[in-house]
Amino acid sequence: MTIRSVVIGSGHYLPKRIVENAEFEGKIDTDDEWIRSRSGIERRHFVSEGETTSTMATAAARIALEEAGKTPADVDAIILATSTADLTFPSAATMVQAQLGMENGFAFDVQAVCAGFIFALSNANALIVSGQAKRVLVIGSETFSKIMDWTDRSTSVLFGDGAGALLLEAQEGTGTPADRGILSTDLNSDGRYRDLLYVDGGISTGTTGYLRMQGNQVFRHAVEKLAATATTAMERAGVTAEDVDWIVPHQANIRIIQGTAKKLNLPMEQVVVTVQDHGNTSAASIPLALSVGKQRGQIKQGDLVVTEAIGGGLAWGAVVLRW
């Protein structure tokens, strides 16, 4: 008997405040045309007073639970991928646990920056297939607007806030790629590249700090590493590009998304793209795209989905799952 981690609910939350590219014009030396052509981003959402990583995560989780017809009491664990937890500790995941009124189970954060949701999914799958949990809420939630240097045009125009959630459930499979659920995962990191993408604050400085990125250097690593990890995950799952229905990539830059799809031999018609409306929401971008893709009628039950992401660390990885 093979145990599979099957998606039984999905949901997302976006702050009401929408910031169009044009809003940056006049404040920093940039324009809508540069942002659109270099990144594909047209707008992003930013939190308002009272909205935090944990409140957005809770809102997304509630929708996923409702869709699955489950209550917080049915959940054994919450794994929250974030680099922008409300406080240094406790984990934002335990805050979500409390906000949901959940008194059972356990909750913890995973921090792998933009690859965080892939790492969280992989951890959730490990808990499920090892029998330690039957149902796991896997959430990505970020408030990158809180770590932007608004004077830095090379980063401040790229990021946004939001949250997405999946509810996974242990179900019996046959052990073949025809099963619903997570079929394979692939995780990687290489700490030698820390200077390409980091926040210049934290415990060691006593400040929150600002995101710093050598964007063109990250870009250079992105397409190659994303295509490689997606290929490894597909091989592990026993599937090929021809079997794939949807790629749901980390939404950092439309040019990275296009380059990776091309390398994987998949047309853009099979890629879920939300970067134009959300910007780069780091660990929230994949669950947001999965939930929006489902809402749009793109992702349907039984579809084979490949997700992949890269971010600070560098850390990168991929998950192959049948929806």
Given 21, 45, 114, 253, the catalytic residue:
114
Minimum Å gap between C-beta 93 and ligand ACO is 20
**Phi first, then psi: what are they for 20, rounded to 5°?**
-80, 155
For the bound state, the minimum distance from the C-beta of residue 220 to ligand ACO, rounded and expressed in Å, comes to 9
- Tell me the three state secondary structure of residue 48: coil
How near is the Cβ of 286 to ligand ACO at its closest, in Å? 12
Question: Which residue's entry shows tokens 């946004």?
Answer: 160
Residue closer to ligand ACO (CB basis): 128 or 284: 284
Of residues 9 and 317, the one with the C-beta less far from ligand ACO: 317
Catalytic one of 21, 123, 253, 280: 280
Q: Cβ closer to ligand ACO: 172 or 195?
A: 195
In the bound complex, what is the minimum distance in angstroms from residue 208's beta carbon to ligand ACO? 15
Q: Give the CA diameter of the chain.
A: 61
Residue 160 contacts residue 279 (beta carbons within 8 Å): yes
36 or 236, CB closer to ligand ACO? 36
Q: How far apart are CA 61 and CA 72, in angstroms?
A: 9
Instruction: Select 114 or 230, whichever has its Cβ closest to ligand ACO.
Output: 114
Shortest distance in whole angstroms from residue 113 CB to ligand ACO: 4
CA–CA separation, 145 and 58 (whole Å): 19
Give the single-character DSSP code of 139: E
* Residue 255 C-beta: closest distance to ligand ACO, Å: 7
- From the candidates 12, 45, 250, 278, give the one annotated as an active-site residue: 250
12 is catalytic: no
Minimum gap (Å) between residue 275 Cβ and ligand ACO? 10
CB 281 within 8 A of CB 251: yes
Which tokens go with 134?
Answer: 């039957």
Task: Give residues in contact with ligand ACO (CB under 6 A).
Answer: 30, 34-35, 38-39, 113-114, 153-154, 157, 197, 215-216, 218-219, 222, 252-253, 256, 280, 282, 310-312
Residue (of 41, 15, 17) closest to 141 by Cα position: 15
One DSSP character per residue, 181-218 reads: EEEEEEEEE-GGGGGGEEES-BTTTTB---EEE-HHHH
State the burial class of residue 134 (Cβ atoms within 10 Å of its Cβ: 0-12, 13-18, 19+): middle
146-150, Cβ contacts within 8 angstroms, sequence gap of 24 or more: 146/47, 146/84, 146/208, 147/84, 147/199, 147/208, 147/209, 147/210, 147/211, 148/210, 148/211, 149/210, 149/211, 149/212, 150/27, 150/28
Looking at the Cβ atoms of 127 and 273, the one nearer to ligand ACO is 273
Instruction: Specify the residue, 129 or 148, whose C-beta has the smaller distance to ligand ACO.
Output: 148
Tell me the C-alpha to C-alpha distance, in Å, between residue 277 and each of 16, 21, 36, 166: 12, 10, 11, 21
| Active site (catalytic) residues | 114, 250, 280
